[in-house]
Amino acid sequence: SAARSIVNDAIADPTPTNASLARYMATEAFNAVAGEAIQMHGGIAITWESDIQFYFKRAHGSAQLLGSSREHLRRLEAEVLH
The pLDDT of residue 81 is 81
Write down the pTM of the prediction. 0.74
The CATH-assigned architecture of domain 2-81 is Up-down Bundle (1.20)
Tens-level pLDDT at each residue, the chain (82 residues): 788 999 999 999 999 888 888 988 888 888 888 888 888 888 776 777 788 888 888 888 887 887 777 888 888 888 878 7
The pLDDT of residue 3 is 87
How far apart are the C-alpha atoms of 57 and 82, rounded to whole Å? 36
**Residue 53: what pLDDT?**
83
Neighbour-count burial for 62-77, b at 16+ CB within 10 Å, e otherwise = bbeebbeeeebeebee
Phi and psi of 49, rounded to 5°? -75, -10
pLDDT at 57: 85
3-state secondary structure (DSSP) of residue 78: helix
- Among 29, 37, 30, residue whose Cα is nearest residue 59: 30
Q: What is the pLDDT of residue 7?
A: 92
CB atoms within 10 A of CB 4: 12
